[in-house]
Amino acid sequence: MHRKAAVVCACLAVMAVSIPGAGHAATRVISLNDLPRIVNLSDVHLSPDGTQVVYVASRADMHADRWQQRLMLYDVARKEERPLTFERRGIASPIFSPDGGRIAFLALAGSGEDAQEQLFVMDMRGGDPIQVTHAPQGVQQFAWRPDGRALAYVTADEPANKALAARHLDAFVVGDQAFNDRAAPTPNHLWLVNADGSGNRRLTEGPWSIPSAQPPSSPGPPISWSPDGTQIAFTRMPNAYDADADLAVVAVLNVATGTIRTLTSHGKFEGYGEFSPDGSRIAYWYPYHGDGAAQNDIDVAPATGGDGVDVTADTVDTNVVRAMWMPDGQSLLVAGHKGTDAALWIVPLAGAPRRIDLGAVQPVQAFWLDGDVSRSGAIAFAGSEPDHPVEVYYMASADAPPQRLTHNNDALAALDLGAVQPLTWENEGFAEDGVVTLPPGYTSDKKYPLVLVIHGGPNSASITSFSLLNQLLAARGYIVFNPNYRGSDNLGERYWYGIVNDSGAGPGRDVMAGLAAVERAYPIDVSRIAVSGWSYGGYMTSWLIGHYHVWKAAVSGAAVNDLIDEYALADNGVGWRYNMGGSPFTGNRLSAYIAQSPVSYAWQVTTPTLILSDVNDARVPITQSYKMYHALKDRGARVEFWAYPVAGHFPSDPVREQDVFRRWIGWIASYLH
């Protein structure tokens, strides 16, 4: 499976805020106090006939410090919506039954630390949803059998040493996993259960595994039924250690016999196989030319087997984050970044792709298009506009203009928001781009301080979607610049590949060229420039303060500062061998890893720097922030390091999230005045 080591923070991508009853809204700018009014939308799915949209709405409860979730049902014709759930937690993946009469979804069952995600089926004629699974390790994903009578689902095996572990014989053999894991992972396998909860049985077993979600990243590769209900396409990796998912392939299970065949001869880098509506083909993810360092393409193979044809490489030429079959079975809805947009294409199996005209609408594409295609050909997705936070958008067909269905965040959109403008420049043969957000009330008559907010990934992109952090900074009177840089996933294979074995220097020059372009295009006070970012954006920040001395302040969050730590300690760390040409511990590669690690240049830093990180971040281990901290402190630079005692790559609760933004903005404000 070719799921890139996503060193990124999805939370900074698109966020939304609503201010119920804020009639005075247009007279004021956005502030941190608006953050608790966020309504986040996710998991958008369509009814088979395309007339209803179901999605998950999440509102911050600052008192309980958690997100209150509700499953929402929107009737497209009546333009009405209503909540379907009451006080449920952990709601995800609402999916209509093939006949449209039921909705299956995941939600937490049980209480406290023993609560697990389980599969529920809600009858749309009324009645309590039935809990159809009682999987000890919880349900990761599921798919309706086409006849609607049963569901296949994926759950992890119980640990083989469970009884021994209860007696404290819980030592475990470590594989390619995170430094803070406290057990070996167990394989994920396919099970089948009837829609009424009866007939639960295992379909697959063995030491191999179906990859699970490792946020922030794409979700675990969905399982896909053949239309006749006899086969399931799924993604199979050789063991349960998720960092070895590069060796994943698309496999097909014969449900009746239990036999499994692999689809192609590639042996690695595949995933996300989906049967075409007529069952004759399987579309799946595979990198350009089968190169593990390349961007993700979509290949289509005969369902009976074969190596498939790349249908996106020379046509859309972007890193594809999702492909869904259109009902005709002759084309795919393909999602990916293009320039400063999140783009959608209709890609036919033969012939030229057609880019869908979305106007200013930017679908949410944080490693995955959060959207759906109905059997009728309607399209729905979560999306935003530069001046409007996330809502549900709907297209009756691929030819229809997107229509904003929901109004969860209208009040925020009515605030005095900063204008968002794309910016392009040339550097070293690349046509590069980025996004500029201007302060509300911007005028070219005066000079403005500038804040760089650099995206993570590195294989992601800054686009002209709504950005809460950009708007919060702009509201404080800063021009905000989000540069893309080689390694970004918005300008095609050559740009994407430009970061391979050039983790810092080339991308750093791209950002500096972008900064020069901003200074040419806007009235910038060059004595007041700050640089900041989270994750790989933190890497870029740490790199830039070690190489350039134009910064008045820096915020380096969850930063990759030491590529050796990242390789050896992160949950998907060994994937860095594709970016670096191999392991740091073989050949003479250690020196390359050191040379491309920002901490190696920390002794040259003079910028006052705020370091932020989660103590139990498995994606970018906090060890790297400790290294940067000690280097800057011993050098005599001004540095503060604040750590959040939580797990994850970014605090996931509203209180700490607000605290991160407060410290980020506060640090910059104290130096840019």
Partner 1 sequence: MRTPPAITLAIFFVLGSSLLGTTHPARAFDFPDARRIVSISTPRISSDGLRVVYVRGRKDFAKDRIDRQLILVDVRTGAARQLTYDRRGVSSPAWSPDGSALAFIAEAGPEKDAQSQVFVMPMDGGDAHQVTHAHNGVISFAWSPDGSRIAYVTQDDNPDQKLVDEHLDAFQVGDNDYLHTSATPPAHVWIVKVDGSAAHRLTRGSWSVADIDPDGGGDISWSPDGRFLAIERFPTPIYGDSLGERIEVLNVATGTLRPLTPYGGLENFPLWSPRGDRVAFERNTNGDPMNGLAALVAPASGGPGVDVRADIGRNVDQMTWSSDGNALWIATGDGTREVLWYQPLAGPARAANLGELAPAELGNVSHDGRVVFVASRPDHPDELYVLDSPTARPRQLTDDNAFVARTTRASVAGITWTGPGGYREDGILFYPPGFQAGARRRWPLIVLIHGGPQGASVLGWDTQAQIFASHGYLVFRPNYRGSTNLGDRYQHAIARDTGQGPGEDVMAGLAAVERLGIVDTSRIAVSGWSYGGYMTSWLIGHYHVWKAAVSGASLDDWIDDFNVSFYVYTDVPFFGGVPWNPRYTSLWREQSPILYAAHDTAPTLIMGDIGDNNVTITNSFKLYHALKDNHVTVQFVAYPVEGHFPSDPVRSEDVEKRWLAWIEEYCHAS
Q: What residues line the site for partner 1 (CB under 8 A)?
A: 65, 167-174, 179-183, 564-565, 567-569, 574, 583, 585-586, 590, 599, 602-603, 611-612, 615, 621-623, 625-627, 629-631, 634-635, 640-645, 653, 655-656, 659, 663
Token pair for 106: 């995941």
Residue 622, SS3? coil
To partner 1, the closest distance from the beta carbon of 67 in angstroms equals 13
φ, ψ dihedrals at 565, nearest 5°: -60, -45
How does DSSP classify residue 26? G
Note whether 241 and 253 are within 8 A (CB): no
Closest approach, Cβ 227 to partner 1, in A, equals 43
Nearest distance from C-beta of residue 478 to partner 1, angstroms: 23
CB of 476 to partner 1, least distance (A): 21
> DSSP character for 65?
T
Q: Which CB, 303 or 602, lies closer to partner 1?
A: 602
Kindly tell me which of 80 and 113 has the beta carbon lying closer to partner 1. Answer: 113
Question: Rounded to an integer, what distance in angstroms lies between the CA atom of residue 621 and that of residue 639?
Answer: 19
Q: For partner 1, which is the closer residue by CB, 383 or 573?
A: 573
For residues 116-140, one letter each, b for 16 or more C-beta atoms within 10 angstroms of the residue's C-beta and e for the rest, the string is bbbbbbbeeeeeebeebbebeebbb
Three-state secondary-structure class, residue 601? helix
- Asked if 229 contacts 199 with a C-beta cutoff of 8 angstroms, the reply is no
DSSP one-letter string for 404-457: E---TTHHHHTS-PPPEEEEEEEETTEEEEEEEEPPTT--TTS-EEEEEEE--B
**Residue 561 C-beta: closest distance to partner 1, Å:** 10
In angstroms, the CA 57 to CA 51 distance is 19
The least CB distance from residue 587 to partner 1, in Å, is: 8
Nearest to 330 by CA among 310, 316, 350, 309: 350
Given strand 39-46, what is the order of strands in its sheet?
39-46, 52-61, 66-75, 80-83
In sequence order, what are the beta bridge partners of 116?
109
Distance (Å, whole) CA 111 – CA 102: 26
Nearer to partner 1, 382 or 568 (CB): 568
CB 227 within 8 A of CB 278: yes
Q: Are 605 and 632 in contact (CB under 8 A)?
A: yes
Q: How far is the CB of 667 from partner 1 (least distance, A)?
A: 13
| Amino acid sitting at position 600 | S
Q: Which is nearer to partner 1, 172 or 442 (CB)?
A: 172
Measured from the CB atom, is 393 or 629 closer to partner 1?
629
459/597 with CB nearer partner 1: 597
Q: Please report the sign of the dihedral spanned by the C-alpha atoms of residue 579, residue 247, residue 565, residue 531.
A: positive
User: In angstroms, what is the minimal distance from the CB of 639 to partner 1?
Assistant: 10
Rounded to an integer, what distance in angstroms lies between the CA atom of residue 400 and that of residue 391?
A: 18
Q: Is 87 helix (H, G, I), strand (E, B) or coil?
A: coil
Q: Report, in Å, the least distance between residue 451 CB and partner 1.
A: 21
Determine contact, residues 626/639, Cβ cutoff 8 Å.
no
Q: Minimal distance in Å, beta carbon 488 to partner 1? A: 28
Q: Is the peptide bond before 216 cis (omega within 30 degrees of 0)?
A: yes
To partner 1, the closest distance from the beta carbon of 91 in angstroms equals 22
Measured from the CB atom, the residue of 460 and 561 that comes closer to partner 1 is 561
Q: How far is CA 69 from CA 61, 73, 83, 90, in A?
A: 10, 13, 10, 8
Nearer to partner 1, 125 or 168 (CB): 168
Nearer to partner 1, 394 or 601 (CB): 601
Least gap, CB of 618 to partner 1 (angstroms)? 12
Smallest distance, partner 1 to C-beta of residue 578, A: 14
Q: Which is nearer to partner 1, 328 or 634 (CB)?
A: 634
Amino acid at 33: N
Closer CB to partner 1, residue 254 or residue 604? 604
Min CB(623)–partner 1 separation in Å: 5
- Taking the complex as a whole, how short is the minimal distance between the CB of residue 533 and partner 1, in angstroms? 18
- If you compute the radius of gyration of the chain from its CA atoms, what whole number of angstroms results? 24
Which letter, b or e, does each residue of 438-459 get, where b requires 16 or more Cβ atoms within 10 Å of its Cβ? bbbebeeeeebbbbbbbbbbbb
Q: Which is nearer to partner 1, 134 or 630 (CB)?
A: 630
Q: By C-beta, is 355 or 656 nearer to partner 1?
A: 656
Residues 6+ apart with CB under 8 A from 499: 458, 485, 486, 487, 506, 507, 579
**Judged by CB, which is closer to partner 1: 159, or 353?**
159
